[in-house]
Amino acid sequence: MRGLALWTLGRSQEAIACYDEALKLKPDDDGVWFMRGIWLSDLGRYEQAIASFDQALKFKPDYHAAWYHRGLAAGNSAICNPLLASQSPIASKNPHLNQRGYQGALASYEEGLKYCLQDTHPEIWGRLHHAIGKAHYSQGHTYYPQAVTEFNEALKTLTLEDFPEAHLEILRYLTRLYLNWGKTVKAEELQRKNTDTLRRFIESSNHSEASQTKLQLKYSWIQQLTVDIAVQSGNWCAALELAEQGKNACLSWLLAGWDETSPTWQEMKQLLNPTTAIVYSHLSDYALHT
């Protein structure tokens, strides 16, 4: 707790020193090793972070978060530190874990799957497949087929019934992937599923009205993807109308008395004249690039 407090105050070096002191008293504390790795990663000291995660995994091989963050650190690290790697109880068993960049991230996630099986660790298994999918996705179109395979694997255990928020997050990546891939019909199909999944999640959870509003805001990206699909399809007028509807829906959740009614494109055009223009901002990869 003291280390966390120091970190919150911006005293990062003191926070790490605090964890080092704690490890002198209890060197097998996987949680302390893990948190030490998190702070080192935040400082960009990726090789030292990996060494800390490896120590955590030495004592708890099925530590999902450690495998996940090790993968992130390996993906961000430019080159392996041979001295630290030689001292790793994890990498000594699997030299592939000394890879860095994209291959290094995959090596960590795939190694984690050896300890976190589908039957025994369903959530962790799914989250590691999701991480592998994201690693493939980040490499561009050539790797999209592998990313789709991994996302679908993750959905086998990260179901709507058991892990609704993780389930929606994977659907988000899949929809964005198909949209970037130019497979608009598939993206539209998934977008309908996103909308239905969110509706069922909210209706089945007995959330209060305030909680429902928070969920609607949290998943406003679903509406944004609908706009993106319209832009990708060349339906500019429909995209503008949908963006306006989404904006007003969000404002109606945030501001009491806000009128959710949105104008049509024809109504918007009535506001235009030779000296007037409409400037519209929509946070979207497609809206920014087109």
Q: How far apart are CA 224 and CA 239, in angstroms?
A: 10
Domain 1-96, classified CATH 1.25.40.10, yes or no: yes
A 10 A CB-CB count for 43 gives 12
Share of the chain above pLDDT 90, in %: 52
pLDDT digits (tens, 9 = 90+) for 202-253: 877 676 777 777 777 777 777 787 788 878 878 878 777 777 777 777 677 6
| Rounded Cα gap, residues 185 and 197, in angstroms | 18
| 236 CB-side CA count, 13 A | 4
Q: Which position has the higher pLDDT, 224 or 37? A: 37
Tell me which residue has tokens 């001295």: 83
The tens digit of pLDDT for each residue in 47-70 reads 999 999 999 999 999 999 999 999
Domain with CATH 1.25.40.10 in the chain: 1-96
Give the pLDDT of residue 19: 82
pTM of the model: 0.80
DSSP, residue by residue, 39-101: HHHHTT-HHHHHHHHHHHHHH-TT-HHHHHHHHHHHHH-SS--HHHHHT-TTTTT-GGGG--H
Q: Average pLDDT over the chain, rounded to whole?
A: 86
* Number of CB atoms found within 10 A of residue 73's CB: 27
| pLDDT value of residue 233 | 78
